[in-house]
Structure 1
Amino acid sequence: MRNTVQRFRSRSEHTLDPKGRLNIPARFRDVLRERYSENLIVTNWKNCLRAYPVPEWEALEEKLLNEGKTQANMGKFVRYVIAGVTECPLDKQGRILLPPTLRADLGIDKDVVLVGMLEHFEIWDKAAWDEEARHTRETFEEFNNGLSALGIF
């Protein structure tokens, strides 16, 4: 049997506990243990939170520092994303604590969906995810050119 590269794949639904703790699925914890560490950097994004293993986050920061200054309006983006950065280590039960400020900014209350994005994962409010998935299904043809250019379509 061929070993697959450990990446964040799939999606799962979870319920935050009253303190705002999120149980990270075992398959995501396995990726962290095998490729990284059990520390995550979580920050706000457009419609969701993004959770990065520390090395992946540091690579993103380096891109912003070295290449971001050449892109228009990146200062606003950097201010928004960096302001939300929170270090979230996994506890002994495999949970992270999502700060109330990050949850409030995106309307994340109780029911969430975790979505694997290969080198990081997203944390969505369930209703926002349902709307995003619906919209993506309805506009799927928009991906044809990109998929074709990658040789996937």
Structure 2
Amino acid sequence: MKNFIGTYECRIDDKGRLKLPSALVKQMGDFDDGSFVIKRAVFQPCLEVYPMTGWEQLMQKLNSLNRFIKKNADFIRMFTAGVKVVELDNAGRLQISKDLTQFANLKKEIVITSAGELFEIWDKEAYENVIATSEENFAKLAEEVMGNISFEEKEL
């Protein structure tokens, strides 16, 4: 599985075009077909960008949910609301639709940050507010999330 690496500051223009940093464009080239899916994040006011292969794997899991259970159907609808397929244009830009720009409250200054197999697009001020947590709070979160994971080395 490939992962994105890095955090980048950039700008979005009035037409919703986001010029991606060359280091990120290079990483995007490592994915098979160059198509990506952009969607609303579930827990934060930002956008998530998935390589098409990762999106298809995620959709396989969603499609295994029983749609005759109302909460499953409601979740799928909300999770996929506003989803768009995007590709880089010749100038290395992503076109972000107006509805997604409004959802993430994207202004001029943007932060793009890696999140494993996907990357997130944030309004710079919102991103800085989210990561501005104390060391003590982050240490507690790290312990809760990672504390029970075994990091034993796998045999080759």
TM range (shorter): 0.7 to 0.9
CA distance in 2 between counterparts of 1:71 and 1:128 reads 35
Structure with more helix by fraction: 1
* TM-score normalised according to structure 2 size: 0.82
Alpha-carbon contact 2:46-2:103 (below 8 Å) kept: no
Percent of aligned positions that are identical: 26
CA distance in 2 between counterparts of 1:80 and 1:12 reads 28
Give the SS at the match of 2:94.
strand
What is the aligned partner in structure 2 of residue 31 from structure 1?
27
1:23-72 per-residue CA deviation (whole Å, 9 max, x = no partner) reads 22222222221232322110111321000111111111111111476998
Give the SS at the match of 1:131.
helix
What is the aligned partner in structure 1 of residue 110 from structure 2?
112
CA distance in 2 between counterparts of 1:71 and 1:106 reads 30
The count of corresponding residues between Structure 1 and Structure 2 is 148
CA distance in 2 between counterparts of 1:130 and 1:71 reads 39
* TM-score normalised according to structure 1 size: 0.83
List alignment gaps of at least 5 residues for structure 1.
none
1:53-112 per-residue CA deviation (whole Å, 9 max, x = no partner) reads 111111111111114769983433321231211111100111110001111122112211
Alpha-carbon contact 1:29-1:38 (below 8 Å) kept: no
Q: CA RMSD in A?
A: 2.4
List alignment gaps of at least 5 residues for structure 2.
152-156
CA distance in 2 between counterparts of 1:72 and 1:117 reads 30
Higher-Rg member (1/2): 2
